[in-house]
Amino acid sequence: MDVLSHDILIVGGGGAGLRAGIAIAHAYPSLKTAVISKVYPMRSHTVAAEGGCAAVIKDNDNHDLHAFDTIKGSDFLADQDAVEAFVRDASKEVIQIERWGCPWNREEDGHIAVRWFGGMSQKRTLHAADKTGFHLLHALFQTSLKYDNLKRYDEWFVAGLLVDDGKIGGVLALNIRQGTFHILAAKAVILCTGGVGRIYAFTSNAGIKTGDGAALAYREGAPIKDMEFIQFHPSGLLKNGILITEASRGEGGYLFNKDGKRFMEQYAPSKMELAPRDIVSRSIMEEILAGRGLDGPYGSYVHLDLRHLGEAKIMEKLPMVRELCIDFAGMDPVYEPIPIRPTMHYTMGGVHTDKDGKTPLAGLYAAGEGACVSIHGGNRLGSNSLAEILVFGARAGRTAAEYARQAKPCASERLQSLAKEKMDFIQRRYIRTENGTERVGAILSDLRKTMDEKVGIYRREEGLREGIEAIQRLKERFNRIRLTQQSQVFNTELVGAMEMDNMLEVAHVVALGAFNRKESRGGHARKDYPNRDDAQFLHHSLAYQTPDGPRMEKLPVTITKWQPEERKY
Amino acid sequence: MADQIKLTIWRYNPDNGPDNRPDKGDEYRPQTFTIPYQKDWSILDALNHIKAEVDGSLSYRWSCRMAICGSCGMMVNGTPRLTCSTYLNEFHPNEITLEPLANFPIIKDLVVDLTDFMDKLRSVKPWIIRENKKDDEDTSSEYLQTPAQMESYYQQSLCINCTLCYAACPAYGLHSDFLGPAAIALTYRYNNDSRDQGREDRRKVVAAENGVWKCPVVGDCTEVCPKHVDPSAAIQRTKVNSAVSWFFSFLKGGKGE
Amino acid sequence: MNTPNTSPSPEVTRTYRRPIPNTWWLKQRSTILFMIREWSSVFVALYAICLLGQLWALSEGADRYNALLARSLSGGSLVLHLVIGAFVLYHMVTWFKISGRIFGSGPLSPGAVTAINYVVWIAASIGIFYWIF
């Protein structure tokens, strides 16, 4: 195999990956940098973020407030030094992206406007109508085109990391269009691959969200962290969980049960509909479980009512919500309440990094949803994730660049032999499948059903045990898959199989982490352990791959100035 | 028997074909799938069903399934559409014919080659250009921009790069060197952004032979745009602007570039 | 052009470009109307030639001009003028509509711009009518 050499490879072309790429291309023009992405960068799931991006930019706000809101939102599992760095950088990053053309909504005088978001004690969410992720991603992508020294591999899939003696040497990647595998050498690799939403059936996440980065790191011995913390967003559109932004509540929307009661009065009287997502989602589930939900062909739901906002405000601030409702639910929120139910939305966990994006594996970095710094702890506040991809994308980019400047490249012969080993594995596992019987599609749909049922919003010991066993059986079945496409060209079946393998690996860690954490904190709610237990569980969970499944370790939480307290809204 | 629907999908596989002569079309052929009809399925749902249950070798692009990533455009009964937001019930009980987006070379099945489009997108310099290069590094304060100033380019900033407009554009079909609707709309978006100073830089590309003047004003680009970007208006306005500035530069004794 | 997205491998997969038949424009109403508009420019040019011919005749004196007028009243000529007139009218209507799309933005809607076009056209026609008679 030929070797294509680079200094830094960024895996993933979404917000975090492009931000990292620009950071390096701009400040380190002599480094050979490339972004490798399994889809064209502007297809990345950042594009689907709607509500906004949090940062302190107004005089009535300050960094300590933003930090505390984030930490309280995280149910005190966030690392506070990382959060402090995050809120400081976020204020600069949102201006930076403005200067790169992001069309933030404005005040009449031309300054950037902010809106309310859940769990925030101030209005601090910048937004571009309700297409914030779309505008942010396209601004980043278009700005990235300015740099001749930022190479791209569009529609390439990373099949494995090449690690030599505990140090990154590059990646083995599939050129999807040609169906050929290549060695891409690099001194540093930054994983910006997003979360693992597709392991759930009812999810707001795109088809590409398959946890690739977490699985890549995990297989090479880098730990993944806090995977049991999955965020369920309160407003997933029936029937399939498409996101209706939290901004619809930030702009004044109400939640009603079937009796027409604003039930949030009962659960979060001071914040009402703008409590953090984990709390609102559980409140909706409580209403549904108590029989106060509405019923339809797609199951039980509650109403998100925007009608009192009026058509003009909806068109100005929430045009995409209206578009989505009309196109995907056949109803118009100007005249009807929106049928919603909590939808799997965000992976708080990810590849374990420090606040500069560094992982324990030399030369490996991570940023964005696929990384876990952690600033979100047990529950992420809405609009902190777009800020996160900017802040930590840039930080990881700079850290990786400093490392790559002094690191030595891996010897070419060594890369060849590492790649050959991986290639043999790939041939055996995914390509030579004539004797197999299992369809990948069936395994995927069984996994998604298992995760929805056993590792959903509410978790119980019994269900989790069943879930873990089911995942182990699915892993068994995966050993016997059969692929039908013979042609190499644009073989999405092969890509799908490798993604499926990644999802199984990560789902196992999600379920086991949830099983081990015998408390309720943030997005992890155990019916059998309904309270937070700081004495035993104020720690992160690290998962390491072993032949017998994940090995879990504990990692203390960094606390600077905010001691854990009861979390009430 | 449960209700069914027929999908005829045009397929192409560069590795197949008795003569290996794609110019004869012997590898580009229709295949009909009959699947259960679900009235709430999008065409993309139907494709995912076929891929998972019937024929795993079918290739197509998709991702967000909420009409914002721009991946899943195809010719649906001859018209370019996003398949995630086009539903079977619009056609049932009639059958649906799916082809890869028109005017693009086909890589495999419903996957087309976007290399040319990506190059064109980059050629119009779609980023904020400032006379003072240091401007974009200053993060102490934002550029001011009033809502009215933003309004003047906002519509053209909504393009998701789905390339339906290229599939609808006969000029692009006949002359693939035409810059095309989305790229010109993007030029318009940056040229009309009060923060940008790059209009002159872009004129060389947009007003060139393969720029706006290749557009014969059919208007189908605007008709098929799922985000109401109205590239046709952007192109025609750019023609007017570039004609006017040509005229004034001519009056001033320039070469009328 | 220098694109960062060039594939690093020399072999490029064989793509298939579908041929475009000469009848491509017959498949859709919008392109049929478009082709009629394109062809209508030929008639606009014919009209311009007619006008130039009349001017030339006029410059040659009253006799020449009156002879031309007499010939114009023949049946064939009338039919030709009706056909030309219809195409020119079609050409005008489509451009009025397009100009609405181009210039209609903000407070001035596309419909308003098109309407202004018609108003100016009718006003000019009336003005010329009074000027002549």
* pLDDT tens digits, A125-174: 999 999 999 999 999 999 999 999 999 999 999 999 999 999 999 999 99
- Of A5, A37, A9, nearest to A24 by C-alpha is A9
Three-state helix/strand/coil letters over A406-419: HCCCCCHHHHHHHH
Convert the pLDDT of each residue in C123-133 to its tens digit.
Answer: 999 999 999 88
Q: Are residues B145 and B96 in the same domain?
A: no
Beta pairing partners, B30: B10
Question: Which residue type sits at A373?
Answer: V
Closest chain B CA to residue C26:
B170
Q: Identify the domain containing residue A255 by its residue range.
A: 234-342
- Which chain A residues are Cβ-neighbours of B149 within 8 angstroms? 110
B97: domain CATH number is 3.10.20.30
Q: Which of B23, B220, B240 sits opposite C30 (nearest CB)?
A: B220
Please count the helices (runs of H) and the strands (runs of E) in chain A.
Answer: 16, 25
**In the predicted model, what is the mean pLDDT of residues A472-493?**
94
Q: Which of C4, C5, C9 sits opposite A178 (nearest CB)?
A: C9
Last residue of a domain, one of B112, B128, B161: B112
Q: pLDDT above 70 covers what percent of chain C?
A: 89
Residue A99 has pLDDT above 50, yes or no: yes
Convert the pLDDT of each residue in C24-41 to its tens digit.
Answer: 999 888 899 999 999 999
CA distance C58 to C64: 7
For residue B131, tell me if it sits in a domain.
yes
Residue C7 has pLDDT above 50, yes or no: no
Q: Are residues B15 and B34 in the same domain?
A: yes
Query: A551 pLDDT band (50/70/90 cuts)?
Result: very high
Query: C120 pLDDT band (50/70/90 cuts)?
Result: very high
For residue B212, tell me if it sits in a domain.
yes
Q: Identify the domain containing residue B125 by its residue range.
A: 115-251
Counted domains in chain B: 2
- Which chain C residues are Cβ-neighbours of B230 within 8 angstroms? 101
| A567 neighbors A76 (Cβ within 8 angstroms) | yes
Distance from first CA to last CA of chain A, Å, rounded?
58
Residue C2 has pLDDT above 50, yes or no: no
Residue B56's alpha-carbon distances to A439, A440, A476, B2, in angstroms, are: 9, 9, 21, 23
**What does DSSP say about strands A350-352 and A224-225: parallel, antiparallel, or unpaired?**
antiparallel
Residues in chain A: 569
- Could you give all domains of chain C from N- to C-terminal order, each with its CATH number? 31-132 (1.20.1300.10)
Q: Are residues B94 and B141 in the same domain?
A: no
- The pLDDT of residue A179: 92
Burial of B149 (0-12, 13-18, 19+ CB in 10 A): middle
Q: Are residues B101 and B146 in the same domain?
A: no
| A119 neighbors A523 (Cβ within 8 angstroms) | no
DSSP state at residue A9: E
- Which chain C residues are Cβ-neighbours of B78 within 8 angstroms? 27-28
How many Cα atoms occupy the beta-carbon half-sphere of A403 within 13 Å? Answer: 26
CA distance B177 to B234: 19
Query: A250 pLDDT band (50/70/90 cuts)?
Result: very high
B167: domain CATH number is 1.10.1060.10
For residue B167, tell me if it sits in a domain.
yes
B90 touches chain A (CB under 8 A): no
Last residue of a domain, one of B112, B145, B170: B112
A514: domain CATH number is 1.20.58.100
Distance from CA of B15 to the nearest CA of A (A): 6
Distance from CA of A104 to the nearest CA of B (A): 9
Closest chain A CA to residue B158:
A135
- Which chain C residues are Cβ-neighbours of A154 within 8 angstroms? 5
Three-state helix/strand/coil letters over A16-51: HHHHHHHHHHHHCCCCCEEEEECCCHHHCHHHHCCC
For residue B128, tell me if it sits in a domain.
yes
- The pLDDT of residue C103: 83
Q: Are residues B54 and B156 in the same domain?
A: no
The side-by-side arrangement of strands in the sheet containing A33-37 is A150-154, A33-37, A8-11, A188-191, A364-366
Distance from CA of B183 to the nearest CA of A (A): 12
Q: Are residues B97 and B185 in the same domain?
A: no
Q: Are residues A338 and A423 in the same domain?
A: no
Q: Are residues A430 and A533 in the same domain?
A: yes
Give the H/E segment covering residue B10.
strand B4-12
Counted domains in chain A: 2
CA distance A407 to A185: 13
The verdict on whether A249 is a catalytic residue reads yes
For residue B180, tell me if it sits in a domain.
yes
The verdict on whether A380 is a catalytic residue reads no
Q: Are residues A248 and A331 in the same domain?
A: yes
Q: Are residues B216 and B92 in the same domain?
A: no
Last residue of a domain, one of A342, A373, A401: A342
Q: Are residues A330 and A425 in the same domain?
A: no
| A217 neighbors A364 (Cβ within 8 angstroms) | yes
CA distance B56 to A444: 14
Query: C75 pLDDT band (50/70/90 cuts)?
Result: confident
Q: What is the mean pLDDT of chain A?
A: 97
Which residues have CB under 8 Å from C33's CB, separation 6+?
Answer: C94
Beta strands (DSSP E) in B109-169 are: 111-112
**Which residues, numbered 99 to 118 in chain A, qualify as contacts with chain B under a Cβ-Cβ cut-off of 8 Å?**
99-101, 103-106, 108-112
Last residue of a domain, one of A342, A370, A400: A342
Beta pairing partners, A294: A301
Cβ-based interface (< 8 Å): residues of A facing C: 2, 4, 145, 147-148, 150-154, 175, 177-178, 180, 182, 489
Burial of A376 (0-12, 13-18, 19+ CB in 10 A): buried
How many Cα atoms occupy the beta-carbon half-sphere of A78 within 13 Å? Answer: 30
| A12 neighbors B30 (Cβ within 8 angstroms) | no
Residue C2's alpha-carbon distances to A24, A42, A145, in angstroms, are: 20, 20, 11
Are residues B66 and A328, on separate chains, in Cβ contact within 8 Å? yes
Q: Check residue C21 and give left, alpha or beta (phi > 0: left; psi -120 to 50: alpha).
A: beta
Distance from CA of C73 to the nearest CA of B (A): 36
For residue C98, how far is the Cα from the chain centroid? 11
- The pLDDT of residue C74: 87
Locus of tokens 């209005």: A123
**What does DSSP say about strands A294-296 and A167-175: parallel, antiparallel, or unpaired?**
unpaired
- The pLDDT of residue B137: 87
CA distance A186 to B131: 35
Convert the pLDDT of each residue in A66-86 to its tens digit.
Answer: 999 999 999 999 999 999 999
Closest chain A CA to residue B144:
A110
For residue C104, how far is the Cα from the chain centroid? 20
What subunits make at least 3 CB pairs under 8 angstroms with C?
A, B
Distance from first CA to last CA of chain C, Å, rounded?
63
- Which chain A residues are Cβ-neighbours of C11 within 8 angstroms? 178, 180
- Of A303, A354, A271, A288, nearest to A73 by C-alpha is A271
- The pLDDT of residue B26: 60
| A283 neighbors A268 (Cβ within 8 angstroms) | yes
- The pLDDT of residue A345: 98
Q: Are residues B127 and B144 in the same domain?
A: yes
- The pLDDT of residue C73: 85
C61 touches chain A (CB under 8 A): no
Q: Are residues B99 and B179 in the same domain?
A: no
Write out the two tokens for B86: 């086009």
Q: pLDDT above 70 covers what percent of chain A?
A: 100
Give the H/E segment covering residue A302.
strand A299-305
Beta pairing partners, A340: A237, A302
CA distance A548 to A540: 22
CA distance A172 to A186: 11
Are residues A177 and C7, on separate chains, in Cβ contact within 8 Å? yes
**Bond preceding residue C72 cis, omega within 30 of 0:** no
For residue B84, tell me if it sits in a domain.
yes
**What does DSSP say about strands A458-459 and A525-526: parallel, antiparallel, or unpaired?**
parallel
B233 touches chain C (CB under 8 A): yes
CA distance A383 to A248: 13
Write out the two tokens for A430: 């995914």
For residue A395, tell me if it sits in a domain.
no
Query: C4 pLDDT band (50/70/90 cuts)?
Result: very low
Last residue of a domain, one of A280, A310, A342: A342
Write out the two tokens for A197: 């939403």
Give the H/E segment covering residue A386.
helix A384-406
Please work out, in degrees rounded to the nearest 5, the angle formed at the alpha carbon of residue A110 by the alpha carbons of A105 and A112. Answer: 40
- The pLDDT of residue C98: 87
Buried b / exposed e along B36-58 (16+ C-beta atoms within 10 A): ebbeebbbbbbbbbbbbeeebbb
For residue B257, tell me if it sits in a domain.
no
A296: domain CATH number is 3.90.700.10
- The pLDDT of residue A257: 97
Locus of tokens 């012997």: B26
Q: Are residues B191 and B217 in the same domain?
A: yes
Buried b / exposed e along C95-106 (16+ C-beta atoms within 10 A): bbebbbbbbbbe
Are residues A4 and C2, on separate chains, in Cβ contact within 8 Å? no
Last residue of a domain, one of B94, B112, B130: B112
For residue B256, tell me if it sits in a domain.
no
**In the predicted model, what is the mean pLDDT of residues A476-497?**
93
Q: Which of B85, B127, B154 sits opposite A143 (nearest CB)?
A: B127
CA distance A466 to A454: 7
For residue A179, tell me if it sits in a domain.
no
**Which residues, numbered 217 to 256 in chain B, qualify as contacts with chain A under a Cβ-Cβ cut-off of 8 Å?**
none
- The pLDDT of residue C5: 40
B123 touches chain C (CB under 8 A): yes
- The pLDDT of residue B21: 56
C38 touches chain B (CB under 8 A): yes
Are residues C4 and A178, on separate chains, in Cβ contact within 8 Å? no
Residue A104's alpha-carbon distances to A53, A101, A113, A128, C30, in angstroms, are: 10, 9, 7, 5, 37
Residues of chain B with pLDDT under 50: 18, 256-257
Q: Are residues B26 and B128 in the same domain?
A: no
CA distance A421 to A162: 10
Best of A178, A184, A488 to substitute, by most chain C Cβ atoms within 10 angstroms, is: A178
Q: Are residues A428 and A527 in the same domain?
A: yes
Q: Are residues A527 and A432 in the same domain?
A: yes
For residue A396, how far is the Cα from the chain centroid? 16
| A106 neighbors B154 (Cβ within 8 angstroms) | no
- Find the helix packing angle between A440-454 and A492-516, rounded to 10°: 20
Residue C1 has pLDDT above 70, yes or no: no
| 0.90 surpassed by complex ipTM | yes
Q: Are residues B71 and B151 in the same domain?
A: no
